[in-house]
Amino acid sequence: MRELVTHAIGGGWGSDESEDGLEQVAVIRGADFPSAAVGDVSGVPVRWESARKIPQRLLQPGDIILEGSGGTSDRPTGRTVFASARLLESIGRPAIPASFCKLVRIDQRSADPYYVYWWLQGMYADGRTWSYQNRSTGIANFQFEHFLDTEMVDLPAMAEQRAIAATLGALDDKI
């Protein structure tokens, strides 16, 4: 998986009040994933984040947000949400992942990001993210570096990746 990722960084949380050097951003949390996945961003909080931290965390269309910490006894970490252009436009302001999440940017010359998102969704649905979870401090953490070094995504030709992702997306829209 590592060879497919061009940029990965943890998110931020910032402050709930404006201060010098802070800019307003929407912050997508793990708690927002279920509603954001269906286009509902009404619960996404707006925070004030350091202007110097925003550029490398700013979500772009095609990015994947991965839950890096949290989970429960019956729900592992490793959930994902796809930052589509439509989702980001509906937020109406710059957006970053929350501090317990990670921005994952895919090399679009090697893989279709939407295909990789669906591959990650399948991995999560199959329960395979449990093997990357560590609970040493009472909070479950996703072992992202180990995951990048271990997982291999089977990549068909780019046209087939796009067709598969479009089909899965269309089916998901019907659910």
Note the pLDDT tens digit of each residue in 7-20.
Answer: 999 999 999 999 99
- Residue 174 pLDDT more than 90? no
Confidence of residue 70 (pLDDT cuts 50, 70, 90): confident
Given strand 22-28, what is the order of strands in its sheet? 46-50, 22-28, 95-97
Strand 95-97 to 22-28 pairing: parallel
Confidence of residue 143 (pLDDT cuts 50, 70, 90): very high
> In this predicted structure, what is the pLDDT of residue 95?
99
Ordered by where they begin, the domains of the chain are 2-174 (3.90.220.20)
> In this predicted structure, what is the pLDDT of residue 100?
95
> In this predicted structure, what is the pLDDT of residue 139?
84
Contact 77, 70 (CB under 8 A): yes
Give the pLDDT mean for 85-104. Answer: 98
End-to-end CA distance of the chain: 29
Burial 140-169, CB ≥16 within 10 A → b, else e: bbbbbeebbeebebeeeeeeebeebbeebe
Give the Cα separation of 20 and 73 in Å (integer). Answer: 41
Instruction: Report if pTM > 0.75.
Output: yes
Give the pLDDT mean for 35-43. Answer: 95
> In this predicted structure, what is the pLDDT of residue 111?
98
